[in-house]
Amino acid sequence: IKMHEKRNTKQKNDEKTPKGAVPAYLLDREGQTRAKVLSNMIKQKRKEKAGKWEVPVPKVRAQGETEVLKVIRTGKRKKKAWKRMVTKICFVGDGFTRKPPKYERFIRPMGLRFKKAHVTHPELKATFCLPILGVKKNPSSPLYTTLGVITKGTVIEVNVSELGLVTQGGKVIWGKYAQVTNNPENDGCINAVLLV
Amino acid sequence: EPAVPQNMSPDEDVQRLLIQFRDEAGESLGSPFDVPVTITPDKLQLVCNALLQKDEPVPLAFFVHDAEIVVSLEKTLAGQSVETEKVLDIIYQPQAVFRVRAVTRCTSSLEGHTEAVISVAFSPTGKYLASGSGDTTVRFWDLSTETPHFTAKGHRHWVLSIAWSPDGKKLASGCKNSQIFLWDPATGGQIGRVLSGHSKWITWLCWEPLHINPECRYLASASKDGSIRIWDTLMGRCDKILTSHTQSVTCVKWGGDGLLYSSSQDRTIKVWRSQDGVLCRTLQGHAHWVNTMALSTDYVLRTGAFEPAEATINPQDMSGSLAQLKEKAQQRYNQVRGQEPERLVSGSDDFTLFLWRPAEDKKPLERMTGHQALINQVLFSPDTRIIASASFDKSIKLWDGRTRKYLTSLRGHVSAVYQIAWSADSRLLVSGSSDSTLKVWDAKTKKLAIDLPGHADEVYATDWSPDGQRVASGGKDKCLRM
């Protein structure tokens, strides 16, 4: 009968202890501004071994050559049409020097060269402005990868040393891959999502 | 006349100096005599041991004008002008006779807890290991096989702090529901009744020292509700309640001279008489929460009658009658304390440390600045010569325990350093950090000795066993590593 009477009343649930146990010295402090940055290392190693990359933007529209490269006419009569200018955002490395202008086939304008990307950590939901280390793969064409063209869906490598990540072996991680999620040539900035 | 070693025969072109050996308290040993300037610490050690006339030669370190003599007297005096007329004082410091070897590898990873491990402690003799966790259990681990021994269930919330009684026969654990349980390490069972009385969670537990009461009867507990309770564990009830703090009490320490020290988030440290619970003094000076305190006699109060130099490979329980244990603990305490009263160092959220002599004065002796983020833990080395402070600015700073001068910064961690522990001979220091690694530092060379990676997530608690054989660490990844 007692149980029948109690059926509608709410009892304090004192069985479950909350998760996220912290020691006494951390109790009065707000939860860390970084949430758990080290996700499961073993799973990641297994994924890397299998060669499978789970990317947040799996399918992108392939960009044709006429869209990415603009024909530049040169010569006295402006008849020669072997030079191309890149119309999308690109990344050139630190020690980049142009080839002699008479011989360079692909022109990458300085105004379209970017060094930093706004990278979002998918679990922390925090965005950091990190320097780009290189372009790993452009889904449209391997030619664009070698040129360093960054379009939507490109996988780039970014310098994450300021995040303070550490591997299980005790080494500090300084480079990670991220995938670009916007069209940088339209927005003027590169937004990417970190691949953890 | 002490026997002078053969190779000290005078060279005509080497300068000679008059030296006088003095101990740390300033008393002179023997009479002044002259030595060549190129003398090395080994020869100084031979002479000093001969003067001390001890049965076995004791390893010694020599200091002149606060600089240690490492290679030869000449090199140490290189920058300074030496007056050959005056007698030079050389201060000798006996080092621990035993040496603790650095821990180099992880021997095992003990799983068992189902939530983060938040406190880890070795018993005073190093025989047992206990760990408290967020899954509300306290686990005892068998050290010889490195496997789980007992699981003590009873708490209903995270076990925030654990403390061994100085005779190693009882373990007290406090939880976030403000309850205190007592456990027997030999059976894993509960002793006595649950001690409840606090209204908010327990932040720190501290037993009465062995040399005051060899039965280990009284226990002090500090809580977020701002009060300190002294419990009578035999009767299972609260003996005294010390209220005066206006905010959470972060740490309570039972000194060896009959005084109780408590630090709080209300920026003060209060000194109480443990006999009757009367407030003696309030030490003010900090500008923000006082997080942690350390007494110069902490280590010897923790180990009680156990002498780390006599440790064996298989740790044993201490034997002997209560009177013998009390006598031994009193001797060890007097030896470490020396002539001066106990010193107290406190670390705070205002990035500074204060050194006090709480039994005498309510003004601080020194304010030690230098850290760039809050200080999480301070510890005196077991021989009380060095103070180590671990901070959220990723560094550990070492300070001289006597002169309070800054010695060095140990950098290497890439994020906040949470806890540190000294080895029993004061030569090595281990630190656990939120970057999931532990690092062993050499206090002599002030450099990193060994890096101990392996944890998958933050390391919340670290402890070095008093017999020097093992280091245990537990953290957010729920496993305990030895």
* Pairwise CA distance, residues B395 & B381, whole Å: 17
Strands (E), B244-278: 249-254, 259-264, 268-273
ipTM: 0.77
- Residue A130 located in a structural domain: yes
- pLDDT for the residue A50: 58
Q: Which of A166, A167, A174 best probes binding to B when mutated, by most B CB atoms within 10 angstroms?
A: A166
- Which residues are within 8 A (CB) of A144 and not within 5 positions of it... i.e. 6 or more apart? A63, A68, A138, A151, A154
Q: What mean pLDDT do residues B22-36 have?
A: 81
Nearest-CA distance B204 → chain A (Å)? 8
* Pairwise CA distance, residues A35 & A124, whole Å: 6
Q: Which of A16, A19, A25, A39 best probes binding to B when mutated, by most B CB atoms within 10 angstroms?
A: A25
* Report for B91-95, B203-207, B255-259, B311-315: range of highest mean pLDDT: B203-207
Residues B71 and B168 in one domain: no
Helix (H) or strand (E) holding B431: strand B428-433
Q: What is the residue whose two structure tokens read 């008093």?
A: B466
Q: Is A8 on the interface with B (CB under 8 A)?
A: no
Domain count, chain B: 2
Main-chain dihedrals φ then ψ at residue B231, nearest 5 degrees: -105, 145
- Residue A162 located in a structural domain: yes
- pLDDT for the residue A36: 43
Nearest CA to A158 out of A108, A122, A192 is that of: A192
Mean pLDDT of chain B: 87
CATH of the domain at B52: 3.10.20.90
* Pairwise CA distance, residues B172 & B182, whole Å: 5
- Over residues B323-342, the pLDDT tens digits come to 888 888 898 888 888 888 88
Q: Taking 60 as the threshold, does the pLDDT of residue B4 lie above it?
A: no
Residues of B with CB under 8 A from a CB of A: 115-116, 118-119, 133-136, 156-158, 160-161, 201-204, 224, 248, 250, 265, 289, 291-292, 376-377, 414-415, 418, 434-437, 451-457, 460-461, 476
Quick check: B435 and A23 CB within 8 A? no
Q: Taking 80 as the threshold, does the pLDDT of residue B159 lie above it?
A: yes
- Do B116 and B478 contact (CB within 8 A), yes or no? yes
Nearest to B457 among A24, A38, A172 (CB): A38
Domain boundary among B94, B118, B143: B94
The strand pair at B195-196 and B202-207 is best described as unpaired
- Which residues are within 8 A (CB) of B154 and not within 5 positions of it... i.e. 6 or more apart? B181, B190, B194
Helix (H) or strand (E) holding A124: none
Q: Taking 70 as the threshold, does the pLDDT of residue B111 lie above it?
A: yes
Q: What mean pLDDT do residues B145-153 have?
A: 88
For residue A186, give its domain range: 65-194
Nearest to B453 among A21, A27, A170 (CB): A170
Q: Taking 50 as the threshold, does the pLDDT of residue B364 lie above it?
A: yes
The strand pair at B87-94 and B16-22 is best described as parallel
For residue B396, give its domain range: 109-481
Residues B288 and B426 in one domain: yes
Residues B43 and B159 in one domain: no
Enumerate the β-bridge partners of residue A155. A137, A179
Confidence class for position B6, pLDDT limits 50, 70, 90: very low
- Residue A83 located in a structural domain: yes
* Pairwise CA distance, residues B443 & B428, whole Å: 6
- Residue B472 located in a structural domain: yes
CATH of the domain at A69: 2.40.10.310
Nearest CA to A87 out of A69, A106, A110 is that of: A69
Residues B191 and B75 in one domain: no
Report the predicted TM-score, pTM, of the whole model to 2 decimal places: 0.71
Nearest-CA distance A1 → chain B (Å)? 29
- Residue A32 located in a structural domain: no
* Pairwise CA distance, residues A25 & B390, whole Å: 13
Nearest residue in chain A measured CA to CA from B250: A25
- pLDDT for the residue B77: 76
- Residue A40 located in a structural domain: no
* Pairwise CA distance, residues B39 & B47, whole Å: 11
Residues B66 and B123 in one domain: no
* pLDDT tens-place values along chain A, 196 residues long: 888 887 777 666 555 778 888 888 888 776 544 444 444 555 566 666 655 566 888 888 888 999 999 999 999 999 999 999 999 999 999 999 999 989 999 999 999 999 999 999 887 778 889 999 999 999 999 999 999 999 999 999 999 887 777 776 667 888 999 999 999 999 999 999 998 7
Q: Answer left, alpha or beta for residue B36, where phi above 0 means left and psi between -120 and 50 means alpha.
A: beta
Residues B39 and B71 in one domain: yes
CATH of the domain at B157: 2.130.10.10
- pLDDT for the residue A51: 52
Enumerate the β-bridge partners of residue B122. B129
Which tokens is B112 given? Answer: 């068992």
Confidence class for position B164, pLDDT limits 50, 70, 90: very high
Nearest CA to B356 out of B346, B368, B370 is that of: B346
- Residue A31 located in a structural domain: no
Residues B152 and B39 in one domain: no
Residues from chain B contacting residue A164 (CB–CB below 8 Å): 414-415, 435
Residues from chain B contacting residue A172 (CB–CB below 8 Å): 414
Quick check: A166 and B435 CB within 8 A? yes
Does residue B428 or residue A123 have the better pLDDT? B428
Q: What mean pLDDT do residues B345-368 have?
A: 90
- pLDDT for the residue A52: 55
- Residue A39 located in a structural domain: no
Q: What mean pLDDT do residues B267-286 have?
A: 91
Quick check: B453 and A20 CB within 8 A? no
Write the burial class of residue A120 (CB in 10 Å: 0-12 exposed, 13-18 middle, 19+ buried). Answer: middle
- Residue B443 located in a structural domain: yes
- Residue A146 located in a structural domain: yes
* Pairwise CA distance, residues B83 & B305, whole Å: 47
Which tokens is B286 given? Answer: 């900090």
Sheet holding B117-122, edge to edge: B117-122, B128-133, B138-142, B147-152
Q: What mean pLDDT do residues B174-179 have?
A: 92
Quick check: A38 and B116 CB within 8 A? no
Lowest mean pLDDT among A15-19, B11-15, B424-428: B11-15
Residues B344 and B449 in one domain: yes
Nearest to A21 among B134, B224, B250 (CB): B134
Residues B65 and B160 in one domain: no
Enumerate the β-bridge partners of residue A84. A71, A106
* Pairwise CA distance, residues A182 & A192, whole Å: 7
Quick check: B453 and A36 CB within 8 A? no
- Residue B104 located in a structural domain: no
Domain count, chain A: 1
- Over residues B116-140, the pLDDT tens digits come to 999 999 998 888 899 999 999 999 9
Q: Which of B176, B221, B463, B478 best probes binding to A when mutated, by most A CB atoms within 10 angstroms?
A: B176
- pLDDT for the residue B260: 93
- Contacts of B4-9 with C-beta under 8 Å, sequence gap 24+, read B4/B47, B5/B43, B5/B46, B5/B47, B7/B43, B8/B35, B8/B36, B8/B39, B8/B43
Percent of chain B whose predicted confidence (pLDDT) is above 90: 45
